[in-house]
Each structure stands twice: as structure tokens, then as C-alpha cells.
Amino acid sequence: MGRKTFYITTPIYYPSNKLHIGHAYTTVAADAMARYKRLRGFDVMYLTGTDEHGQKIERRAREEGMTPRAFVDDIVGWIQELWRKLDISYDDFIRTTEPRHKNAVQRIFQRLMDQGDIYQADYEGLYCTPCESFWTARQAEGGRCPDCGRPVELVREKSYFFRMGKYVPKLLQYYEENPEFIQPESRKHEMINNFLKPGLEDLCVSRTTFDWGIPVPGDPDHVIYVWIDALSNYITALGYLSDDPVQREKFEHYWPADVHVVGKEIVRFHTIYWPIVLMALGLPLPKKVFGHGWLLTPQGKMSKSKGNVIDPNLLLDRYGSDAIRYFLLREIPFGADGVFTPEALIQRLNFDLANDLGNLLNRTLPLIERYAGGRIPTPTRIQEPDGELRGMAAETVTRVEEAMEKMEFSTALAAIWQLLGRANKYIDETAPWAEVKAGRGDRAETVLYHLAEVLRITSILLQPFLTKAPAEIWRRLGLSPGPHTSWDSAGMFGTLPPGLPVYKGDPLFPRLDLEAEVLAIDEATGAVSRQGAEPVSETGEASPHSGGAAGAPENDAGAGCAAGTELIGIEEFQKIDMRVGRIVEAERIPKADKLLKLMIDLGSEVRQVVSGIAKYYAPEDLIGQRVVVVVNLKPVKLRGVESRGMILAASEGDRLVLTTVSDDIPLGTKVK
């Protein structure tokens, strides 16, 4: 019996311009999942590519004095080089201008026409060229595209249409029978309430106002529009309807897709239009569509028109692929929106990579060189702290696997970093240098072995996220890729062979000067990452005129407990939106003794909240607690970290207790 397959895709990117860091976020996330599944023994197919047809590209090429093909060839080359620099391990890169795609798309279109799902009629409606989307007058309120805000234009032309409504009952049934199909679940409610319940209109699937596309079979005045052209890439790349039997076998082997990874702005196309096309073709539907949030700048979504696009090459050239991959996957809970700022990036690199991971490596190896002859020692004298560390290492493997299966990349990395934090604390608790001084060299060697073993286990768990550091850690531990670096071996503490020579080397992740790096990024990007940010005082707290408070300033318990006696009316109170949430991550904010950064699951999203409760609660004690969150406060920054809410607590004197609710209350429940 062959290995179990895993087919994962990104959207195919539209090469009307170069990509930004938000596109890199999508691709890195899918890459982490593909790498993880390969490590678990799956036969993985990871597909990405480019959607190269359409009116926008035709216009852009004309503006540049180029043919459309020459124009897209240039940008596609740039994209492929970007993926190389980010160590994207795709198995196939599909271009919609390739013959294998064009031929299959024409056959798909012909089949749908032959069975009556596609028909020809006159079309008149509003069209957004940049988004390549048609809108009704109700949807395009004020004559503007509801997605991008640009003006729409009235289009009149004879077109081919797809009978969408015919398949809506079957699609709703699929939603009901496959609750995991659309993730996060809040996206499903949006699809049903905003698009399916109001009535799904027939879909225009051809155009005549431009000719840069795939001709409709038997009617070359029409080109096949994006919904049939671009979306079909997920099956044409596998050889669907190919004349080559080997390619057709590939389709049978990998389809249906295990997950389409897409940005939330194109969830509609992937969870309504694409499933209906597949139903019409009689094909199985994808198992899951995961619509992640946006990577924003302080002034909103990245776009060329706003001038707030962050070029990933700038960051890659300066910090390397491991640093950027780590930041993207750790900073933002997958599914929620996140904000890119230079401060957030540099702080992650300094405090997580340099301090936690780098510090453990940089302390352990010199100690082995000094007290164990430069070789991995043999553990012979086990004591109490060792068992706790071993237990946490085993628990970390389980937590990482559980998080990865749910595509909770940030949660997986948080678990790894809790193990690193415990190991750094373990060094100070056990003080191997003191054991040597006291004549207990065997105890010191046992401690050093445990530290080296944590490094081995950590390096294995980091492989989906970091592509260079794990191998370098193995080299410094004297390891070669093999049984001792396999994923399964991460769950077996004590696998590291004693006697291997270690190599100290230079710091794996050198500390960076925050002020200098922020200035360098601002200068290189024209300060796009800073424009429009909330006013912040020199202490990092929200300025009094910033428009509201979320989380807590550092001189306050931060629990939202009012002490005043001013009376308010019921109308004012009803404006406060309080919801039940569960704390899924908690960590201290560097150089802010009273502040904790919390990630709180509200059912439909994961929200970041900064709260001044660090003197009352240790981060690890908060995980899993169900708390009450005020969710409709304006965001503010506290010590440079954005806070989007406030948790409630009761305080008296030096005592503070969180307001909690029973575990059987569903997340997101409104508190009245």
C-alpha cells in the first residue's frame, strides 16, 4: 500500500505587478504545511503558480509597450526567484498560459456547454477591472467595487453564462455534511448569508472586450473568463482531461485537494464558484478551503495605490529567509488579520530567535566544550528537574502536531518556544558550572546532555518553519540528517548519541539594533510601515488623544474594571460588546514588566490583547482560561504592541482576579 497523499495549493497569483509580503505570507504558510506533511511521511503535492490572462494584464502590457506574454514572463520570473529565496518547496508551478492548462480548460468549457450548464446571452452590468469582478448595482454602492473601492464601469457584451443556481441546494448540503470544508468557520456564515441566501445569479464566464485569454471552443471572439480559466488550475496541473495517461493517473492519485490556502478576499470564489464547477463536472470537492486573514500595515491593506506595499526582497536580503518565515508564521494567528511594523519584526528576531533559541544554543555548546571535552556527554545522574524537562519535551511534540493539523502555525511555534524558555530556565536552575566546582562532574554532564537533547528535538520541530537553522543546529551538535533527526525521533528523549563532537560557532541569530533597523526599513520603504499608525507616547502607551483604550496601560491592572461613580444610561451600556473568549497564547512583552500579550480565541477569530496583569499571572497559568473580552474598543499600541480589546477582572488592593466563565459556554457568546 502506498503512502497517504496530501495535496495543498496556494492561489495562483496575478502577475499584473510584483508581489508583496502579504502574498509571501500565503505561500510560506502553505509551504510550512507541505513540509510538515512530508516529515510525517505523506506523499505531498504542493502547487502554486500564476493566473496570467485578463484585461488588466493586457492593459498593463500596453502601457509598458510590451506584448502580454513578454510582460507576464518578466514578472513570473521575478515571482519564481522570490519563492527560491524564501525556500518555497513547491512540487509544481502552473502557468495559465501553458498548453497543458489551455487545452484542458477548453475541454472543460466544452463539456459544460454540451451538458447545458453554460449558455449564451446578452450581459449588461458593472465591472471592476482590477478585481476582475462583476457586481450588481446594489453591491457596487456609489459606483465603486465593494472589494477594492475603485470605480466600476458599465459593460455591455454578449457573453456565456454558467447556471449557478441549479447547484446551490447541493452546495448547501455539502456545507452541512462537511463542517470543516470552510475554515475559519466564520467565513462559511458569510458565504451563506451574503451570497447564497440572497440568491446566486448566473455567472458570466466569457468576455469579448479583450482577447488576452483562452478562446471559447468554436467561438474565438470570446475568451474564457477567470472563473473557469484560473480556478481550473487546481485540476489541470494534475493532468485532468490530458491525453497523457501518466498525467491522468496523477490526477486520480492526488485529487481531491486536501486544502486550498487562500486569502479571505477570494474565499467566495473558492467556496461557491469552484465547488459548483466541480459538481457540474462530476468531480469530488476539495476537503477544505482555508481563508486566512490579511497582513496589514498600520494604514490598512497593502496596495500599490495606497503606497504601503512591503517588498519581501528587501527583508529577505537584510535578514534572511528563516527570520522572515518565522515572523510571518509566529506573529499572526493563521486566520486572523495581523499588522506588519518594523518594530514587531525586529523584536521577534531579537527576543525569540536571538534570545531564546540562539541563547540556548550559545550557552549549551560552550559549556559542553568546557566541561565535557567538546563532545556530547553521557547522562548518568538523573535528578528531579530532568524529568520535568523530559516530560515537557514529549508534551511539546504532541502540542505541535495537534496545532499543525489545524493549521495553527503560531500556536505550534508558541509551544516550541515554551520548551525553549523552560530549557533556558533549566540551565540556571541546575547550574552545571557549580556542579563541576563541587566535584559532581557526572551531574553536570547529565544536565548538558539534556540541554543538547532539547536542542535536537527543537531543531526537528522547527523544520516546517525554518529551512536553514535546523540543519545548522545538527551540524553544531555533530549530527547528520538521518534517524536521529527524523520527526518520529523527536518524541523519543535520549536519542542523541553521546560522544558526538560539538561545534560552538558564531551566534546563529545575532541581536539587532532596534532603532537602527527600524530606521533602515523605514528609509527603504518610504516609511510605508509607519504612516497612519496610532499616536503612541514615548513609553509605548497610547496617547490620550488616540481615540480610545484597548488592553491596558502599564500603570493599570488592565482588566477594564471601572472605579468611577458616574452613572450611565442603558443605551450607553449596550454599546459595549463583551464576548466569551479562551486564552490560547500568553507571553511577556520585553521591557514591560506589567504587560502580557494574549492571543484570545473568540470562536470566529483569534484576537490579540495586551493586558497589565503580569504581576498577578504567569503566562503559562493563563492558557485555556475562558475570560470576558470587550471586543469593540478602538485598537491602541502599548509598548509598540497592538491591542484589540480588553479583558475583565476584579481588583482589590494588591489582589486581582480575572473574570472567568464556565467551560461549557461557547466561545464568542455575548455577555449581557
pLDDT digits (tens, 9 = 90+) for 240-264: 999 999 999 999 999 999 999 999 8
**Residue that the C-alpha cell 507576464 belongs to:** 72
Cβ atoms 151, 188 nearer than 8 A: no
Q: Are strands 92-95 and 118-128 parallel, antiparallel or unpaired?
A: unpaired
For 166, which DSSP code? G
Grid coordinates belonging to 124: 449588461
The span from the CA of 550 to the CA of 269, in Å, is: 35
The single-letter code of the amino acid at 492 is M
The span from the CA of 28 to the CA of 325, in Å, is: 7
Three-state SS for 320? coil
The pLDDT-based confidence of 558 (bands split at 50, 70, 90) is very low
Q: Among 631, 651, 625, which residue's Cα sits nearest to residue 643?
A: 631
Task: Output b/e per residue, 490-514; b: 16+ Cβ within 10 A.
Answer: beebebbeeebebeeeeebbeebeb
Question: Does pLDDT of 527 surpass 70?
Answer: no
- How many CB atoms sit inside 10 A of residue 585's CB? 23
Cis previous bond, 256, omega within 30: yes
Q: Among 23, 406, 358, which residue's Cα sits nearest to residue 185?
A: 406
Three-state SS for 603? coil
Q: Higher-confidence residue: 245 or 137?
A: 245
pLDDT at 604: 64
Over range 124-142, report the average pLDDT: 78
pLDDT at 496: 96
Three-state SS for 23? helix
The span from the CA of 471 to the CA of 476, in Å, is: 9
pLDDT at 401: 98
pLDDT at 507: 92
| Superfamily covering domain 570-671 | Nucleic acid-binding proteins (2.40.50.140)
Question: Does pLDDT of 360 surpass 80?
Answer: yes
pLDDT at 526: 64
For 581, the enclosing helix (H) or strand (E) is strand 578-589
> How many angstroms from the chain centroid is the CA of residue 304?
22
Q: Are strands 338-339 and 606-611 parallel, antiparallel or unpaired?
A: unpaired
CATH entry 3.40.50.450 includes domain 339-491: no
Cis previous bond, 544, omega within 30: no
Over range 311-321, report the average pLDDT: 93
Over range 342-365, report the average pLDDT: 94
For 50, the enclosing helix (H) or strand (E) is strand 43-50
The span from the CA of 354 to the CA of 373, in Å, is: 26
The span from the CA of 482 to the CA of 495, in Å, is: 12
pLDDT at 574: 67
For 358, which DSSP code? I
Per-residue model confidence as pLDDT tens digits over 394-404: 999 999 999 99
Question: Does pLDDT of 528 surpass 60?
Answer: no
Grid coordinates belonging to 638: 502599548
- The most distant pair of C-alpha atoms in the chain lies apart, rounded to whole Å, by 91
Q: What share of the chain is helix, strand, coil (3-state, %, to 5)?
A: 40, 20, 40
**Distances in whole angstroms, Cα of residue 609 to Cα of each of 3, 547, 602, 630, 636:** 42, 17, 12, 10, 10
- How many CB atoms sit inside 10 A of residue 366's CB? 13
The span from the CA of 257 to the CA of 234, in Å, is: 8
Q: Among 232, 216, 254, 295, which residue's Cα sits nearest to residue 529?
A: 295
Per-residue model confidence as pLDDT tens digits over 271-293: 999 999 999 999 999 999 999 98
The pLDDT-based confidence of 304 (bands split at 50, 70, 90) is low
The span from the CA of 506 to the CA of 78, in Å, is: 33
Q: Among 401, 409, 503, which residue's Cα sits nearest to residue 455?
A: 503
- Output the pTM of the full model: 0.76
The span from the CA of 269 to the CA of 249, in Å, is: 27
C-alpha radius of gyration, the chain, whole number: 27
The domain spans of the chain are: 339-491, 570-671
Per-residue model confidence as pLDDT tens digits over 563-578: 334 566 666 676 788 9
pLDDT at 463: 98
Task: Write the burial class of residue 471 (CB in 10 Å: 0-12 exposed, 13-18 middle, 19+ buried).
Answer: middle
Q: Among 501, 355, 381, which residue's Cα sits nearest to residue 441?
A: 381
How many degrees, rounded to 5, is the angle at CA 567 between CA 566 and CA 570? 145
Grid coordinates belonging to 76: 513570473
Task: Output b/e per residue, 262-287; b: 16+ Cβ within 10 A.
Answer: bbbebbbbbbbbbbbbbbbbeeebbe
Per-residue model confidence as pLDDT tens digits over 510-519: 999 999 999 9
The span from the CA of 122 to the CA of 157, in Å, is: 6
Q: How many helical (H) and strand (E) elements, i.e. helices and strands, does the chain have?
A: 23, 26
The single-letter code of the amino acid at 608 is Q
Per-residue model confidence as pLDDT tens digits over 423-473: 999 999 999 999 999 999 999 999 999 999 999 999 999 999 999 999 999
The pLDDT-based confidence of 405 (bands split at 50, 70, 90) is very high
